[in-house]
Structure 1
Amino acid sequence: MSRFNQVTDRMNTRSVKWDLTESLFKSEEVLPMWVADMDFQIPKAVTDAIADRAAHGIFGYTVTDEKIHQSIKNWLSKQHDWNINTKWLSYSPGVVPSLHTMMEALTDKDDQILIQTPVYPPFYDVIKNHERTIVKNPLHQQDGKYEIDFDDFEKKLKQGVKAFILCNPHNPVGRVWTKEELQKMANLCLKHNVMIFSDEIHADLIFPGHKHIPIASLSDDIAQSTITCLSPTKTFNLAGLQVSYIVTPDAEYRKKVNDQFGLQGIKMLNTLGITALEAAYDHGDEWLEELISVLEDHKKYLMDTIHSQTNQIQVVEPEGTYLVWLDCRGLGLSHEELKSFMQEKAKIGLNDGASFGEEGEGFMRINIACPRPILEDGVQRILQAIHSKE
């Protein structure tokens, strides 16, 4: 049996996905396929490294040294053809804390911050909680694929936008922006003196036929205007270990971000997070290659099965991530009715599309990073609920 088909019982492990099912979805019968973590065992090399470190028995203050910096540098070079200077690195417990820090360090109250909606819900909080102003550049669906409205993008930048939070690969619509799209966005940001905060946490999870390009890798000028957030946590299922890093080529921006981390008291990562990062980046290639193959099969199963059995849900084909955007507008339900339908009739726990912005109404997000039996169960629950409704 493939290590990715092995079903592991995650109940009673304080799992957000599994142990909170009843409190979140009002029934323990609901199958949770929502939050962005995987139901797969992590690479053995990472488990072994954590076990070896744990066996030492002492967990004092721990530094990120040159060996860790080099692991990150090598990974970004090998996976994304991006040659960074290790002096550009800063560390954080997660991408969302990093975005909050960047917002506080590099923007001011009432500054306009651009996002491309529908988008990852914490982006809204990162802007609103710091009393900045949300500016939307809604993505447009063209023949089932999401595209950027560049006329609107520039129009919004001209209004005095201070920073643009890029999501690449995009969560939830699954786009992996092309070099041409990235270049066009970056050139417009340079033209209008707009900083780019780039969330690239899903960078390694790319389907065949597509390639992730860090926007900061396009040119030196773009790099100097960009702060990039990355992490091994989505790639290798390490979210609970809280480890991420920021790449900031501009020395002034980097100092401001690091000073802000200092004000928050965030000075170092946890010992096991550092251990996991190093082991994953140094030894995780083969595991990741197999994961992508499994996710490709899961994506195909999801699309083929749903599209062959109903025309009431359209699966938006993802180019990256293990999160799939479902267009459920064909069910003819209000958004509240759609949520109830999935939760109470289908007995499946999905992400509410409206949480990604008003552009997500009528949509739901499903996580396909689970053993095949769980995926099949979830898909059949949805189809059976649709057929019983007809």
Structure 2
Amino acid sequence: MTQFNKVIDRTNTRSVKWDMTETLFKNKEVLPMWVADMDFETPDAVKNAIAERAAHGVFGYTITDDKVHQSIQNWLQNRHQWEINTDWLQYSPGVVPSLHTMVEALTEKEDKILIQTPVYPPFFNVVQKHERELVENPLVEQNGRFEIDFEDFEKKLQQGVKAFILCSPHNPVGRVWTKEELKRMAELCLQYNVLIFADEIHADLILPGYTHIPIASLSEDIAYQTITCLSPTKTFNIAGLQASYIVTPNKQFRKKIEEQFGLQGVGVKMLNTLGITALEAAYEHGESWLNELIHVLDSNKQYVMDTIHSNTDKIKVVEPEGTYLVWLDCRGLQLSHEELKEFMQKEAQVGLNDGASFGKDGEGFMRINIACPPSILEEGVHRILQAIERA
């Protein structure tokens, strides 16, 4: 696992995470631990495939062929026991563009769309930008673990919700939804004729003891009500290569999405040459690297929990079940949210995600990215604890 201990200087590479630190946090000494990419090198198989393709020297328009489709089909079958047909696939540069397209293609202005807060910030924009009505089903904290309020969920669906954007695994609270939870949500969506837009981009990043279940794999009826967004970009740290895909067996949905892609211009549904190369190489040869990564993330998670909980009672770590993003309950610091942001930036000098950006339910929380070498993680946690001691 020495590859995951290596500290790589990402500055001056146009890195959003590292090269925008001073701009975003007004302090060049801040240690960035926010945006959801990793400070690890991608697998050698991916680097080698990109280098080989780059050596060819011609980068014209590039297709996704049967070999690429099959690499996705095999990955979903082997990693998640989900059997799909390759004709269920459509491609896009990223999950967020896909969600925008799905909202436009499959709902109408003023339709109600439900999300479960606190949640990945673009979900709000995906709904509101297209003049749809945002409906929130806040998650409920129970003994440090976030649960679904099913009574409220059903009540909201009864009010005429057209679509539900599911975050699975959930960002930022780190829940890996159980089969029972997924089935209950899906059956309610079927009962009230609600479309399911499933963002499952973190599906491969599941910590030991938990299992990701694609919601569309639960039954044929649920599959036909669902459009799932997936990508290798979070899994293998290739987000800059912009490669994602949509899965649905529903021909009508695929046709409407295809038509919407057409309205937006042909480039939206085409992947870039190196993105295709990386996707295929990652899915064909990246599993052993991923298995090692999971152990590193589990160790990093345990370090954060043990170190913070043994040194302060002012921050509680919400234990993640998946993703490499950890939700920190900072309400014990008794700071307003603006004061909390300033405390982390100026006193602790760590760059975290602002909890309020995940919705009003996120006030008093911060999100930390633990997908980094242990030495960087230790430095970040040390800075936070030292700042609390000084306060």
- TM-score, with normalisation over the residues of structure 1? 0.99
What is residue 343 of structure 1 aligned with on the other side? Answer: 345
CA distance in 2, matches of 1:194, 1:162: 5
What is residue 100 of structure 2 aligned with on the other side? Answer: 100
Please give the per-residue CA displacement for 1:97-145, whole angstroms capped at 9, x wherever unaligned: 0000000000000000000000000000000000001000000000100
Letter of the structure 2 residue corresponding to residue 216 of structure 1:
A
Offset of residue 248 of structure 1: 1.3
CA distance in 2, matches of 1:92, 1:251: 17
What is the 5 A alignment of 1:124-273?
A: 124-265=124-265, 266-273=268-275
Letter of the structure 1 residue corresponding to residue 246 of structure 2:
I
What is the 5 A alignment of 1:1-390?
A: 2-265=2-265, 266-389=268-391
Letter of the structure 2 residue corresponding to residue 306 of structure 1:
I
Q: Quick one: structure 1 residues 48 and 206, their matched pair in 2 at CA, closer, same or farther if it must change by over 3 Å?
A: same
CA distance in 2, matches of 1:261, 1:324: 34
CA distance in 1, matches of 2:28, 2:39: 18
Offset of residue 263 of structure 1: 1.1
3-state SS, counterpart of residue 24 of structure 1: helix
3-state SS, counterpart of residue 3 of structure 1: helix
Letter of the structure 1 residue corresponding to residue 44 of structure 2:
K
Please give the per-residue CA displacement for 1:58-92, whole angstroms capped at 9, x wherever unaligned: 00110000000000000000000000010000000
- What stretches of structure 1 of length at least 5 have no aligned partner? none
CA distance in 2, matches of 1:268, 1:150: 39
Offset of residue 267 of structure 1: 3.6
Offset of residue 259 of structure 1: 1.1
| Contact kept in structure 1, 2:93 and 2:269, CA below 8 Å | no
CA distance in 1, matches of 2:109, 2:353: 31
CA distance in 2, matches of 1:259, 1:201: 24
Offset of residue 383 of structure 1: 0.1
Among all aligned residue pairs of Structure 1 and Structure 2, give the percentage whose two residues are the same amino acid.
Answer: 75
CA distance in 1, matches of 2:300, 2:387: 21
Letter of the structure 1 residue corresponding to residue 149 of structure 2:
D
CA distance in 2, matches of 1:190, 1:201: 23
Offset of residue 27 of structure 1: 0.9
CA distance in 1, matches of 2:307, 2:239: 30
| Contact kept in structure 1, 2:314 and 2:333, CA below 8 Å | yes
CA distance in 2, matches of 1:261, 1:38: 30
What RMSD, in angstroms, separates the aligned Cα atoms of the two structures?
Answer: 0.5
Q: Which deviates more from structure 2 when the two are superposed, residues 218-227 or residues 253-262? A: 253-262
CA distance in 1, matches of 2:290, 2:144: 28
CA distance in 2, matches of 1:258, 1:64: 15
Please give the per-residue CA displacement for 1:256-275, whole angstroms capped at 9, x wherever unaligned: 01111111112411000000
Please give the per-residue CA displacement for 1:192-224, whole angstroms capped at 9, x wherever unaligned: 000000000000000011000000000000000
3-state SS, counterpart of residue 36 of structure 2: coil
Structure 1 runs of 4+ aligned residues shifted over 3 Å read: none
